Amino acid sequence: MNRLLRRYASRLWLPTTVMLVVAVLFLRYARQLPPGGKLIAVAVLMASYAWTGWAEFRHMQLMDEMRRRLEMEAMVLAFIAGTGLVLAMFFLHSLRLVVMPFAAAPMALFGCYVLAQLWARLRYRYWSL
């Protein structure tokens, strides 16, 4: 395994694993909890997400300048595309042109992020972590 990938994996394996386990437990058990338990479950889920995001941010701070530039361009593009897509979904739903479930929004945002990362990597021909 290359050095950059090993460093990335060592920094993010624990927060990512915890977030995935919490998400699976949340999906499995949260509906059966009383309202107070649901609130705690959401707080734990969001705390695990915040930890993973913070670990990713710290990793980005330690990147070289080219990788930072690539990451920032991808994030800005993903933000612009994701916001536009979610707005379009909202307006289509509010005008009753399409029945849009709320669960589609996070998947649309995630898809925009993945496509923006691919676009930035193809543009710069830079594939390392």
Predicted confidence band of residue 37 (pLDDT cuts 50, 70, 90): very high
Question: Does pLDDT of 43 surpass 70?
Answer: yes
**Assign residue 96 a region: left if phi > 0, alpha if psi is -120 to 50, beta otherwise?**
left
Among candidate residues 51, 25, 50, 48, the one with its CA nearest the CA of residue 38? 25
d(CA 13, CA 57): 14
pLDDT computed for residue 5 by the predictor: 76
Predicted confidence band of residue 121 (pLDDT cuts 50, 70, 90): confident
d(CA 42, CA 73): 31
Among candidate residues 82, 128, 77, the one with its CA nearest the CA of residue 105? 82
Give this prediction's pTM: 0.73
Query: Are the beta carbons of 68 and 124 closer than 8 angstroms?
Result: no
Average pLDDT over every residue of 37-41 = 95
- Structure token digits, residue 116: 């923006």
- Owner of token pair 């289509």: 92
Express each pLDDT in 65-117 by its tens digit: 888 888 899 999 999 999 999 999 999 999 999 998 888 888 999 999 999 99
